[in-house]
């Protein structure tokens, strides 16, 4: 891959967030942040491919967005390698899938470690490699991966998850450095606590749910739709000079040191 980054054309202020004529692939579009992102990208004019290992869920999101469903298990390396050719030119790639096993480090089984690393870090590497190359060859594209505030703030029993999310930030920053001169922007979204299928274990525990809500400045959990605006921004011309960025959307969680309010 050779060449220089293409000059970013001027965009009218009212059109900065429009994605008309662009093709976006959202992996994990069957639920949660992925589904919300697919809906938001479509609402801003993108043609959206709703990819998920659950084809029925992907089909439901596609029906709601006017997009197209696509069956993809990102743990299947051959399927990931084949996807760009099957899908054609892709302008925006968003990927959200991740997993977690809550266990202290000394208690992890080897296969549990491998499973988390495979889905949270190896699979994103495969996606960046597969989709980044054709984007670079065309001289344009935006890749957005979903990390977590756990990349920078750890919690007991979430160590491997945190390690993979920190690794994902480093991976995507490296991709940004390598693909930026070829016209491809790469950024990371770092959510806080979001009411999604991945966090049902905490949502079902009133004590933990309330404690997590109280840790945010806003005093509540986020909805998946509240992550979608950040995805649209990073995909659009509004973020034409944003790459190697980590956009934290956490209700202020990582900014606040404890909950002590000093007397006035």
Residues of the domain holding 172: 16-249
Whole-number Å distance between alpha carbons of 53 and 71: 5
The answer to whether residue 161 is catalytic is yes
When the pLDDT of each residue in the chain is averaged and rounded to a whole number, the result is 94
Provide the CATH number for the domain around residue 143: 3.40.50.720
Query: Minimum mean pLDDT among 32-41, 174-183, 224-233, 250-259: which range?
Result: 250-259
pLDDT score of 9: 55
pLDDT band at 125, cuts 50/70/90?
A: very high
Whole-number Å distance between alpha carbons of 133 and 98: 23
Name, in order, each residue with C-beta under 8 angstroms of 121's C-beta and a sequence gap of 6 or more: 164, 167, 168, 171
pLDDT score of 3: 52
Q: Is 264 a domain residue? A: no
Whole-number Å distance between alpha carbons of 122 and 171: 10
Q: Is 260 a domain residue? A: no
Whole-number Å distance between alpha carbons of 21 and 7: 18
Q: Is 7 a domain residue? A: no
- For 70-99, what is each residue's pLDDT tens digit? 999 999 999 999 999 999 999 999 999 999
What is the tally of structural domains in the chain?
1
Q: Is 235 a domain residue? A: yes
pLDDT score of 243: 98
For the cut 90, the answer to whether the pLDDT of residue 198 exceeds it is no
Q: Is 95 a domain residue? A: yes
Nearest to 152 by CA among 168, 166, 167: 166
pLDDT score of 176: 98
- For 200-249, what is each residue's pLDDT tens digit? 888 888 999 999 999 999 999 999 999 999 999 999 999 999 999 999 99
Residues of the chain by 3-state class (helix, strand, coil), percent to 5 = 50, 15, 35
- Among candidate residues 70, 108, 161, 212, the one labeled active-site is 161
pLDDT score of 30: 98
Whole-number Å distance between alpha carbons of 71 and 83: 10
Q: Is 62 a domain residue? A: yes
């Amino acid at each position: 891959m050779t060449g220089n980054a293409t000059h970013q054309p001027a965009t009218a202020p009212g059109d900065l967030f429009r994605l008309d004529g662009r093709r976006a692939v959202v992996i994990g579009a069957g639920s949660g942040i992925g589904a919300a992102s697919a809906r938001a990208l479509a609402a801003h004019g993108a043609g959206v491919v709703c990819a998920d290992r659950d084809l029925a869920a992907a089909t439901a999101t596609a029906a709601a967005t006017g997009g197209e469903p696509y069956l993809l298990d990102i743990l299947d390396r051959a399927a990931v390698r084949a996807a760009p050719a099957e899908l054609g030119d892709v302008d925006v790639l968003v990927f959200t899938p991740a997993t977690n096993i809550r266990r202290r480090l000394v208690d992890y089984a080897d296969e549990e470690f491998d499973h988390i690393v495979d889905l949270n870090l190896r699979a994103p590497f495969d996606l960046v490699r597969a989709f980044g190359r054709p984007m670079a060859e065309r001289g344009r594209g935006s890749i957005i991966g979903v990390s977590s505030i756990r990349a920078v703030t750890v919690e007991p029993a979430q160590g491997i998850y945190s390690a993979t999310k920190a690794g994902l930030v480093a991976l995507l920053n490296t991709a940004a450095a390598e693909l930026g001169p070829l016209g491809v922007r790469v950024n990371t979204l770092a959510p806080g606590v979001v009411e999604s299928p991945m966090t049902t274990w905490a949502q079902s525990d009133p004590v933990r749910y309330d404690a997590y809500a109280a840790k945010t400045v806003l005093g509540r959990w986020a909805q998946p739709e509240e992550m979608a605006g950040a995805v649209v921004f990073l995909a659009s011309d509004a973020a034409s000079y944003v790459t190697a960025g980590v956009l934290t959307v956490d209700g202020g969680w990582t900014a606040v040191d404890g909950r002590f309010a000093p007397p006035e």
